[in-house]
Structure 1
């Protein structure tokens, strides 16, 4: 595939990335891999994303060589033990853009294929001190490469190293560097070519770059796409005669990379397609923890001549004397000139020039162009020379240092723009500025004493002698004012910034420290430098609370009892009265809740025939408890406990409570006597078996029945009548009986029949 772009005639660099992989049926078709690199990105916990960025020759490569997936193999560095094979599916397929699209060549078109998968690296498995490496092997490279032996048979091995995921017993997280952007450009013979290969590291680790020989690996034309990678070592490619790791592309100078920035530089002297390798090593606290390798291609073409543009700077719009770099220093002072004039041109016809700025030793405010900063020269209707005005901000402050600024003009030549730079040295002093002023109607010398419920408000006014905009601010000494409910509203009136402080003191102000110091400020931002004047207003919060009292006509505790007991038979009514008094006149609330004696189960009062009526109020509260004694209470539990609680409505309540135990009196007050002998001889004494002293039927405790069995287990009698009578079976012997009630009670025993 090719990119249908118009070409202005000049050279472009084709970036053919790291070690390539892609399957092809025949060696002649396997001329598709431009290069690539691998990444390992930490997501969270033990999960990571493993990626392979593969760069594909879209102009000359066959679409049949596009792999749907590739297999990455993970090995332990210390032993070369295979840890895992990971199948990476193709997840993205996009074109790589030219730096200057107008310089595009249809014979140079690169696709970026991304193969990725989320993987898990358990600490118990990936803990080797020497770390791990990942490899993907694929054949083959473009057969038109000029600087290696037998390029059509040369393969690629993508390679990445990463550290153990645990160190000294603690998790050790790392995302490997991302080397980008990839190139689609070409280089021009005998012209300086440059490109930024610098990477980024998500963990802030230090990155160091160097040139390396690209890896060939173990794949070949017979096995272009192995099922998995072999362990290291991986054989390098073979350089053509006279070339080496430090001389990969013939040039003056040859290809090199800045160790710290990753900037590539070469002035190629030969035409052709050249492969080269770059390594990015990752350091944390001075220790190397990993590395990424990128394999690329660079096409060198003959280009139309492109002359460098020319830039001249004049210290002021009316000054005809040019600025002299390394000799002159601009002095920017309040009330003085802050603008310079620029004149720029290009001897080449139909050139478009663009001005740009690059600070060298400072950050922050930059000058701005008050006139157009780009335009065409030496084309029909265009001048031969352009001019522009560059003005420095009045607020710029070099803080007594000499700042350096590169003013750059660039053309639109191919493959890369030619540039001319004027480095401007300058000092800058901002205009003087007076601090703002702040006044308030609150007294800053005496604390404001408040109580819970008080509403406090006062006014603040901020002004500035230089008429800079003023903003009022509110903070707290060790606390958040808004967290206490305080607000500061403000607005502008003429030259004043007026504010209103409002605070309804509530329970949020009650704490171990009852003193709150609010801090107010009037702030300005002259020349982006903050100036502020502050004023403090202390508050003392007064809070006290006396416990309320709760009285009632509940019975007193009997000796040995922890709770008073009210025991009544069915059908009775019980009433108790409660009175709560608070000496601080706080709001009082009376409530009643139900529990069993053990306190493990709660119950609704209404389900037990109970109700509580309260009349709550400030300082006084009364309540009446009613109980209609019925089976509703008896069926819930033998003993029910009702808790009466008096709560005072204040910041730190001191609740009071009383408890009473309630019981439904059962008619079962006589101990159960079980008889075990009858004499059915008609003498009217013990002639029948009966149990008149069994518990009577009571609410949910109802007699179910009795069963009598012979000693051999044969049932001889059954009755559902609590007043049963059994005259015996007509024969002597031992019998057994079993009695049940609805509440689960059971009575069993034996009976002897004696004639």
Structure 2
């Protein structure tokens, strides 16, 4: 079955038979390489107990098997080599314990997936089946004999004959932290998706697979329902890690939360489902173990603020007012029940782009239990509140507790007066903020920003509930120092309908305090009126709309078609033969577009074939002009073109004597007066013979015969037309 893959790296070794005891957890992954045709990276991230694991069970390669989901048919397998091995770290490295040490081992290989083997609409899954798990796991039966199977589903690599790229979610390295009994613990198990797909997380019972301690690395078997681990009595998916708050996972973020009730080593699995455009396209399971220990009792620090002049401590949602004459710094206290504890202070402004404040000092250390320490929060000049809107500072105090620091948060609402920065002004060249517009009629004006402090300014515009580009509005952001201006240009399109009111908010930002700019805005309202539209008209250069043309006459039929419109809309002139294709009949006409007036020439040189045996036929051409306004109008003029055969002429009397003596009288056999051609009768040729039947003259044109070099005598001639011949005798006298 291995022929289904074309390997970039192909290394085949005998299966390792050592038991992979003390597998802690991990997950499979697949990554699409967009710059190479159907090249995917397939791999496994595995966590291995570094203290209790059997070193011989740390495989140099892992066998990852792929099956078709529809019927569990085997597609192939890859042998992925070990590419990385590193120790798992702790959130706080000083909190490590001697009974917990883990390696993260990564296996990966690049392979080309053949389209013929990976195009089934129901997709595929890959598995790694290996025994055995850590023998000291608390919440499952017979843990040392329990195998591990890592599972990942992925979609076909083509859909609707188009490449369908997808990579499985990517997860940061798991930290080897432990939880403490009866202490809240959070564990980030979430990932990100390179394709922008959404992820959901669910706690599930880990799969056990078909491997066992007697056959720890047997080839994997396809299945729609792999065996699951068996929980010990009292454990289920609802309390995988039991306690005051059993283990849960946030379905949107993957954050694990638990307050465990007993020490132990607990295995769990999280199913991560991948969705694109509302449809599930993939899934994988992440196995792991969490160690719960009996930690020394530790309490978090506590932040307190007593506002100046107040006998009580600050309570959240209270607004602290700082006047322009007040000091820039205020004092905050922090206590911690533990002596010799280092406390770190951090903070951020929640509702602003920049903090514009500092904390001094940022680290403090207790000397006694329940020691009270003090630090200052100092506001920068740009920490300013506008429009009576307070800013929200969030302070966090974090201690050195194990396994993760304990913390306290204090949120302070601050309204600070400002008298050092004047607000900018914004105006326009309009006489009113309400502008009446109609489709097709251009609107232009200038937007101005000005600042008396000569600060840097930015000028921008934004449609209220719509994008400016969706209505073809042209207004680009602009910058300036002290003053700035920008043109607004708009020709309302047809989607600006009568009765609409479109609001555009123009804003000027004083960028002295970039993260907290002082902004002023002005709104212009565009009221869409009925768009006036005068219909276009069409005429020709002909004196009348009928043309009669006799075939055989010289020249072509030529005239101009003229479209006009008193509006500024674009007009187009076109033509169409009524019941016939103009080009196939030899008519020449090219449509034209323009404004106000458009002239398009027409020409035609008809021939006899168009009559098809008839004496006369009429062809009607419809010439049309249309405008491209919101309420499109058209006008049409029809020209009737009648072609007919010329009248048949009688054969003239031909003289039977000629005297080619140069006196200008009866010198030639006159052929110029022969009947003109028409569609039914056309001149073919003339031949003259002597009396012995020898041809002495021949012509295909009606050219007079003047035989100055022949001797006198009797001659014969034959004049041929399409359907008749004229024969006669001719005496030549000299």
- Normalising by structure 2, we get a TM-score of 0.55
Is 1:406 aligned with 2:394? yes
- On the 8 A contact 1:399/1:428 being kept in 2, the answer is no
Is 1:422 aligned with 2:414? no
**Displacement of 1:525:** 2.1
**Displacement of 1:180:** 2.9
Deviations 1:216-274 (CA, angstroms, capped at 9, x unpaired): 00111011112445444211111000101121112111111111221111111111111
- Aligned residue among 79, 87, 94 for 2:79: 87
Q: In 2 relative to 1, CA 531–358 (structure 1 residues): closer, same or farther, beyond 3 Å? A: closer
- Please identify, of 201-210 and 164-173, the stretch whose mean Cα deviation from structure 2 is larger: 164-173
Deviations 1:135-158 (CA, angstroms, capped at 9, x unpaired): 111111110111100000011001
What is the match of residue 321 of structure 1? 312
State the alpha-carbon separation in 2 of the partners of residues 198 and 119 from structure 1.
Answer: 27
Counterparts of 1:619-698 in structure 2, within 5 Å, are none
State the alpha-carbon separation in 2 of the partners of residues 57 and 23 from structure 1.
Answer: 21
**Displacement of 1:409:** 1.3
State the alpha-carbon separation in 1 of the partners of residues 201 and 379 from structure 2.
Answer: 37
**Displacement of 1:65:** 1.6
- On the 8 A contact 2:28/2:43 being kept in 1, the answer is yes
What is the match of residue 609 of structure 2? none
**Displacement of 1:294:** 0.7
What is the match of residue 10 of structure 1? none
**Displacement of 1:334:** 6.3
State the alpha-carbon separation in 1 of the partners of residues 388 and 115 from structure 2.
Answer: 53
State the alpha-carbon separation in 1 of the partners of residues 276 and 389 from structure 2.
Answer: 33
Q: Secondary structure of the equivalent of 1:97? A: coil
Counterparts of 1:456-605 in structure 2, within 5 Å, are 465-468=452-455, 525-528=511-514, 529=517
**Displacement of 1:84:** 2.0
Counterparts of 1:115-194 in structure 2, within 5 Å, are 115-194=107-186
Deviations 1:633-669 (CA, angstroms, capped at 9, x unpaired): xxxxxxxxxxxxxxxxxxxxxxxxxxxxxxxxxxxxx
Counterparts of 1:273-312 in structure 2, within 5 Å, are 273-312=265-304
State the alpha-carbon separation in 2 of the partners of residues 400 and 74 from structure 1.
Answer: 62
Q: In 2 relative to 1, CA 38–314 (structure 1 residues): closer, same or farther, beyond 3 Å? A: farther
- Aligned residue among 19, 22, 44 for 1:32: 22
- On the 8 A contact 1:181/1:197 being kept in 2, the answer is no
Deviations 1:480-501 (CA, angstroms, capped at 9, x unpaired): xxxxxxxxxx9x9xx9999xxx
What is the match of residue 624 of structure 1? none
State the alpha-carbon separation in 2 of the partners of residues 53 and 106 from structure 1.
Answer: 24
Q: In 2 relative to 1, CA 359–215 (structure 1 residues): closer, same or farther, beyond 3 Å? A: farther
**Displacement of 1:467:** 4.2
State the alpha-carbon separation in 1 of the partners of residues 417 and 119 from structure 2.
Answer: 57
- On the 8 A contact 2:17/2:215 being kept in 1, the answer is no
- Aligned residue among 356, 365, 375 for 1:376: 365
Q: Secondary structure of the equivalent of 1:324? A: coil
Q: In 2 relative to 1, CA 418–523 (structure 1 residues): closer, same or farther, beyond 3 Å? A: closer
What is the match of residue 639 of structure 1? none
**Displacement of 1:396:** 5.1
What is the match of residue 346 of structure 1? 336
Counterparts of 1:249-260 in structure 2, within 5 Å, are 249-260=241-252
Q: In 2 relative to 1, CA 397–47 (structure 1 residues): closer, same or farther, beyond 3 Å? A: farther
Q: In 2 relative to 1, CA 88–466 (structure 1 residues): closer, same or farther, beyond 3 Å? A: same
**Displacement of 1:470:** 7.5
- On the 8 A contact 1:71/1:229 being kept in 2, the answer is no
State the alpha-carbon separation in 2 of the partners of residues 397 and 54 from structure 1.
Answer: 51
Unaligned runs of 5+ in 1: 1-21, 438-461, 479-489, 499-521, 534-755
State the alpha-carbon separation in 1 of the partners of residues 376 and 406 from structure 2.
Answer: 22
Q: In 2 relative to 1, CA 269–172 (structure 1 residues): closer, same or farther, beyond 3 Å? A: same
With CA pairs under 8 Å and 6+ residues apart, which has the higher RCO, 1 or 2? 1
What is the match of residue 682 of structure 2? none
Q: In 2 relative to 1, CA 132–104 (structure 1 residues): closer, same or farther, beyond 3 Å? A: same
**Displacement of 1:171:** 2.5
Q: Secondary structure of the equivalent of 2:360? A: coil
Unaligned runs of 5+ in 2: 1-13, 427-448, 461-468, 470-478, 485-507, 522-734
**Displacement of 1:23:** 8.7
- On the 8 A contact 2:270/2:287 being kept in 1, the answer is yes
- On the 8 A contact 2:85/2:103 being kept in 1, the answer is yes
**Displacement of 1:526:** 2.4
**Displacement of 1:126:** 2.2
**Displacement of 1:133:** 1.2
- On the 8 A contact 2:101/2:176 being kept in 1, the answer is yes
